[in-house]
Each structure stands twice: as structure tokens, then as C-alpha cells.
Amino acid sequence: MNDQMLDAMFGKFGKEFEPNEVLFCEYEPGNDFYLIKDGKVKITKTIGNSIKTLDILESGDILGEMAILEEQPRSATAIAVTTVKALNFNRANFEVLMSKNPALAMKLLHIFSSRIYDQKRRLMMLLLDDIQGKVADVFNMLYEKQYSSDVYNAIVLNLTVEDVANWCAQPVGEVQKVIMNFVKSQKLDLYPDKIVIHNITDFQRLVNNKRKPA
């Protein structure tokens, strides 16, 4: 979806949120979703007695779409990290857009299908029993999104230890220990803003050994 299309639609469907402003809350009913035009949105979820950051969404990402697809209560909370400009669609105007703008409809359906796959893939990672497997599968999951299947060496992932902890919903300190063990075993190099994987097959094998048969 190009910038011109987003700019044209923002006048009619746009909403703006200030940093720390809540777009929607976990468990509340919802019948609308957002497409981020500018800014970052944090997705959090209550897990036990704590609140975990599940994801950070940016320009071009959608959130809350399951309210349109399934009419279910919100499964997480969305909070603006920066000033956010987003397009807000409810069921009524979404159906109009789908019928009157086939190009937009195809783009949104592609985003929906991609998001559903991403959610299923992340669930596979979260269902692993131990933190080492979860951390390793974060690397596998991001590799699958960013690289072709014939690239195995010198995989560069632009993320921090905190980002990895957010992806796998584990304490930063424990994730740091796991990553430092991978550094000691020379499976990866850790930098302040990136992680370089020497051979992604090491992590694929590790996760395959830990994943329970379906």
C-alpha cells in the first residue's frame, strides 16, 4: 500500500495518538482495526501477574484485525510508543472499502493472511517448553521472514537482547544468559543493535530436537 493511497485515506479514516495513549485494551469488545501510517505501537498482554510486551508494530502494520475477522474480544492491549497516525476501519466502512477498492482489498487480504501466519508461527515458538528453545526459535522465525532458504551463514538480525526477550515473552536477564551461552559456544556474535548468526542450521536443529511431535 503506497504512501499516496494512505495520505488520501487518512483525511477520512485517520486517527492520531500521543505517546503512551491506549488504542485499545485487552478483553474489551472491538469491531474495528488499525493500519499504522506513521509511528510505533506496543502490543502487550497480561501473562500471570505481569504484563509482557509481545510486539512492536510500525508503519504498514495492522492491529486489531481479529475483531473484524472473528468478532472476538481484544486479545491484547495496544499502546502508542511514539506519536502514531493510523487509519481506523470498522466493519461497515471496511466492507465498503473492500467492495469499492479491489486493489486495497487485495492488499488488506494479503496483510491478513500474513498476520495470521505470523501469529501461528509465534505460537509455535511460545509453546516450546524451555527458554533456550524459545530464544533459538526467535532467531529461526526472524530468519524465515528476512532471508531466502538458501542463505545460512552470516545472518544479521537487527535486534537487541531486549527485543529477543519481548518476542519470546521471557525475562531480559534470563534471555541474556542464554544468548551469552550461544556467544561462548561461538554460535553467534552479539552487538548493541544486532545479532550475527554464524550458521542458522545450528538453531534449526536445536529447536527441532526440542519441539514435541504434533
pTM over the 0.75 mark: no
* The predicted structure's pLDDT at residue 148: 76
Phi/psi for 8 (5° steps) reads -65, -35
Average pLDDT, integer, range 102-119: 76
Helix (H) and strand (E) counts in the chain:
8, 11
For 97, 114, 118, 152, 162, the CA distances from 196, given in Å and listed in that order, are 42, 26, 22, 11, 16
Residue positions counted in the chain: 214
Nearest to 119 by CA among 58, 54, 172: 54
Distance, in Å, from the CA atom of 149 to the CA atom of 126, rounded to the nearest integer, reads: 23
Q: What is the pLDDT of residues 50-107, one digit of tens each?
A: 787 878 899 888 888 777 776 778 888 999 999 999 989 887 787 777 777 777 777 7
What confidence score (pLDDT) does residue 110 get? 79
Amino acid at 50: S
Q: What's the pLDDT tens digit per position in 136-191?
A: 999 999 999 888 777 778 899 998 999 899 888 899 999 999 999 999 999 999 99
